[in-house]
Amino acid sequence: MKYRGALLLVLSASILLVPSVVLAWPWSTDMMNQPSLKPQETHNGKIFSFPARSVPTIGVQTKVADREEARDLQNPIAVSAASLKIGKRMFVIYCSACHGLSGKADSPISPKIGAIDLTTEYVQKDLTEGWIFGTITFGSAIMPAYGKPGEGGGSNDLSVEERWHVVNYLRNELAKQSAPAVASK
């Protein structure tokens, strides 16, 4: 009887010390290896729709190869006080070091790197919002990319939505804030 207890103790200890034995039990299945149906997948000739109460996603085209391909993208984020606030915060964090807080390329390093004035008519009226989004995403000659994770350059910290908020701020608020005050008569 006393050997039986010792044997049981040794056997229990050996099972616990060998994790591969413990992990091989049936309860160790992975969630990704379960039966599932994916939306738009066919089964018996029928396409399944999204399940009830599923989380919707917003479809915004962001898979573009370069700035030129981004030129015709439409901004999916409506201009609102909330969007302008987010855009301003992102602009101050990421853009103002080179373009200045006013956007007029008036930071101490602007002349050294050739940063452009973002309040000019060319930027405000001639460039499309898609082009500006593409420039933020892919960068330009000296400007780093702020939207291509894993491909180097830039901080890569701006999400697609944050980049569109910056476009909203740049096009709808930046020039107004940096315009000289008109003296009242």
Q: 69-81: per-residue pLDDT in tens?
A: 889 999 999 999 9
**Which residues of the chain, if any, have pLDDT below 70?**
1-2, 15-62, 148-156, 178-185
Put simply, whether the predicted model's pTM sits higher than 0.85 gets the answer no
Q: Pairing mode, if any, of strands 46-47 and 42-43?
A: antiparallel
- What CATH class does 67-178 carry? mainly alpha
CB 138 within 8 A of CB 67: yes
